[in-house]
Amino acid sequence: MRRFIYTLVFSVIAVIPAVAQETRKLGNETDEQKKERLAWWTHDRFGMFIHWGLYALPARHEWVKHNERLTNEAYQKYFELFDPDLYNPKEWAKKAKNAGMKYAVITAKHHEGFCLFDSRYTDYKATNTPIGRDLIKEFVEAFRAEGLKVGFYYSLIDWHHPDFTIDGVHPQRTGNAADYAKLNEGKNWDIYRKYLHNQVRELLTNYGKIDIIWFDFSYPGENGKGHDDWDSKGLLAMARKLQPGIIVDDRLDLGEYEDGQDFISPEQYKVDKWPERYGKKFAWETCQTFSGSWGYHRDETSWKNTRQLLVLLIETVSKGGNLLLNVGPTARGDFDYRADNALAEIGKWMGHNSRAIYGCTEAPEEFKVPAGSILTYNEKTKRLYIHLLDYPLNNYTLPDYKGKVKYVQFLHDGSEIRFSEPGNNVQLSLPVHKPQYEIPVIEVILK
């Protein structure tokens, strides 16, 4: 009897965590299939985010309409003057490619509601401004021609649409929850939801193969909006149906499902380790700006320097993630000189060091991180990359690496680095003179 009770108790205990940990799924894709579907993306690691819209004219943040509580009428002047005469997406694509970026995600519509594409469901679009062109079509063609993958950012939020209800983040918010019912009288949310679905369908139907869709964003709760408001499941199903293979971000508020997103998107901060979800290391991409604002911001001075940007990229890859680095083109339609400089500097480094980025990931735990460095690792080629943040003098120790190393060279010029194996370590003999790269990389060919 006692034995029976023990068995009962133990089997119940054994079952509880299993039930609690069971993750829910919307579809039936296996981990292996997902890995394959995301293979190009996890290999490529580095993409360009592009935030471009009417907010490029005020040039003081893409949230200017919210920040300054502007009405549609007050915002209308930007629509009437939108004429990016220098827009040449072929140039953009070349700059992205030279920087080593392999894909790009552009704001087809941001929170302001303005569409860069020729949507049949609205007049609030680029074709009705002085520029009079479908800017998304040109973008897609130009980037594809350079061999870059293309993605669309689409704002779930819309501060222009008359049926988008006023909530806690809307430009016409009052700060008093009790006001919203009155303010929203006469608005028909179903019309907006339908509009949103129609536009996503257009974007995923009219522009050929789309590699990524970036929905942004949900803020469930009181005076917020979440998956039921958008009908996120419907959106996700439509995206997967229209564009099999498409990669979808995590802002539809479907986190209760393991496949409610393909990756997580930590914004503007560095994770301290590879993020885990559903009990495993999960695909992730951090999106980051050069200077704080996503849209072109003329007066912002908080620009990251080349070194910070490179460290961001390297660190991201060292934790198994991707970096989506943002450019906010100007109202004239080209990149600001500071963005150009940053891209060119990154390109200089990538031109000779990208082997330590593409196809790379977190290094196996057995490899200790040598002093003042970051490690990345290519599983296929079994090469380890040591990114030297602080360039050492002559001797450089790889602790406990003895017996693991076949050959060592600088990555940028393929020049041999000689080594010895005192104690348990590998000791490299480096030239005193630091190579001409902000962060030199040592390539270790493992046994």
- By CB under 6 A, name the binding residues for ligand GLC: 51, 62-63, 216-217, 267, 287, 294
- What gap in Å lies between CA 163 and CA 306, rounded to an integer? 44
Cβ at position 212, least distance to ligand GLC in Å: 13
Q: Residue 195 — φ and ψ, nearest 5°?
A: -55, -50
Between 224 and 422, name the residue whose CB sits nearer to ligand GLC.
Answer: 224
Between 296 and 367, name the residue whose CB sits nearer to ligand GLC.
Answer: 296
Between 294 and 335, name the residue whose CB sits nearer to ligand GLC.
Answer: 294
Cβ at position 356, least distance to ligand GLC in Å: 26
> Which residue has 């200089």 as its token pair?
348
Between 63 and 152, name the residue whose CB sits nearer to ligand GLC.
Answer: 63
**213: alpha, beta or left? (left if phi > 0; alpha if psi -120 to 50):** beta
Joined tokens for residue 340: 């150009």
Whether 87 and 135 have beta carbons less than 8 Å apart is answered as yes
DSSP SS3 for 60: strand
Q: Give the DSSP letter of residue 156.
A: S
Between 51 and 227, name the residue whose CB sits nearer to ligand GLC.
Answer: 51
- What gap in Å lies between CA 169 and CA 183, rounded to an integer? 14
Between 112 and 134, name the residue whose CB sits nearer to ligand GLC.
Answer: 112
Whether 363 and 49 have beta carbons less than 8 Å apart is answered as no
Which H helix or E strand runs over 49?
strand 46-50
Which H helix or E strand runs over 373?
strand 373-378
Joined tokens for residue 285: 């991409």
Between 154 and 180, name the residue whose CB sits nearer to ligand GLC.
Answer: 154
Joined tokens for residue 93: 């694509």
Between 339 and 398, name the residue whose CB sits nearer to ligand GLC.
Answer: 339
- What gap in Å lies between CA 390 and CA 229, rounded to an integer? 50
- What gap in Å lies between CA 411 and CA 407, rounded to an integer? 12
Q: Which candidate, 236, 233, 229, 223, places its Cα nearest to that of 190? A: 229
Cβ at position 53, least distance to ligand GLC in Å: 10
Which H helix or E strand runs over 442?
strand 441-446
Cβ at position 284, least distance to ligand GLC in Å: 13
